[in-house]
Amino acid sequence: MKEIKVGIIGTGGIAGGKHLPGHRSVEGVSVIAACDVVEERVKNFAEKNDIPNIFTDYEEMLKMDELDAVSVCTPNRYHAGPTIAALEAGKHVICEKPLSDNAIDGQKMVDAAKKSGKILQIGLQSRFAAGNRTLRKLVEDGIFGDIYYGRAMAMRRRGIPVGSFIRKDLAGGGCLMDIGVHILDVLLWIIGYPKPVEVFGTVATKFGKRSDVINPWGKWDPKDFEVEDFGMGTIKFENGLTVTLETSWASHIEGAGPTFFMGDKAGATLQPRIFTDKDGEMVSYEPELISGLSEFESFHNAIRNNLPSPVPAEEVLITTKIFDAIYKSSEIGKSVKID
């Protein structure tokens, strides 16, 4: 087994909490380099985690011939630059979600991956949960029939992240980009990622500008809060499907219900549970789950076996276009067509 050597670009919380342990959990993978624009941060990260090579310029790190792959863990607005540079340098990339904070940069990332022939995987780990894998297989088997409606729910009563998450110049957006992307992507992936044609949506900031908000996740200065803490959209698809997305970091509601989708033969929640008719009765059941490789196992397995990206950027670009349309629709007060 050839050792795969990895570098990490951006050494904040997502790098230390997800990507570093994710890579190191896979046999035959080592993390040999780290890069961050803040020198003290990358030094501390490298010392704490025994990483031998540190950089403050990712272009310099990408000159390392021994690097096979990189993790891009920078803020959303800065996903495109290092991802494209890494692909052009011949490295495989696993880039943290979302693809980018806008579809124009997202398309550039997709194009770079196609041109390079390297893997670009987006960090949407919900696809690798056994329940979601199982539902996708059942959709492929046709047990749901014509799927005509779905609801994607990522609603927190309270859970506002702080730091870069609330800055538009870094995050690009708020709860849509942070947690909405996970639930919308996994729902669309399960049902086959149909083509969206029109979106009506709205975003709002109802808690972030206030100083009296109870938030177990920490405090922030209200004048620094620049993104939405609530977003929703109704999405029409080319095949007649309608999906409603609802997401919030803060709300005066709890237990709003699970994500689900409905077909004319059966429907399902993402727990998962199947609802259908059998022998003249309405029945529901939990399907037998399908296991598989984890997110980082899938990434390195694809590298070793010359497989397609386990989370193709082309698919995630569709979600990015939907978010662009929701923001635009909220701005102009009417629905927006998607090319």
pLDDT band for position 194 (50/70/90)? very high
Q: Is there a contact between 208 and 227 (Cβ–Cβ < 8 Å)? A: yes
User: 250-284 pLDDT, tens per residue?
Assistant: 999 999 999 999 999 999 999 999 999 999 999 99
pLDDT band for position 157 (50/70/90)? very high
Strands, sheet with 69-72, edge to edge from the N-terminal-most edge strand: 53-55, 29-35, 4-9, 69-72, 92-96, 120-123
Per-residue pLDDT at 304 exceeds 90: yes
- Share of residues in the chain with pLDDT > 70 (%): 100
The confidence score (pLDDT) of residue 1 equals 77
Question: How would you classify the pairing of strands 273-278 and 281-285?
Answer: antiparallel
Q: Is there a contact between 191 and 261 (Cβ–Cβ < 8 Å)? A: yes
pLDDT band for position 112 (50/70/90)? very high
- Share of residues in the chain with pLDDT > 90 (%): 99
User: 280-297 pLDDT, tens per residue?
Assistant: 999 999 999 999 999 999
Nearest CA among 14, 330, 311, 322 for reference residue 133: 311
Mean pLDDT within 288-307: 97
Q: Domains in the chain and their CATH numbers?
A: 4-123 (3.40.50.720), 127-292 (3.30.360.10)
User: 18-42 pLDDT, tens per residue?
Assistant: 999 999 999 999 999 999 999 999 9
Instruction: Give the C-alpha separation, 153 to 256, whole Å.
Output: 8
Question: How would you classify the pairing of strands 4-9 and 29-35?
Answer: parallel
The confidence score (pLDDT) of residue 52 equals 98
Mean pLDDT within 79-104: 98
User: 201-239 pLDDT, tens per residue?
Assistant: 999 999 999 999 999 999 999 999 999 999 999 999 999
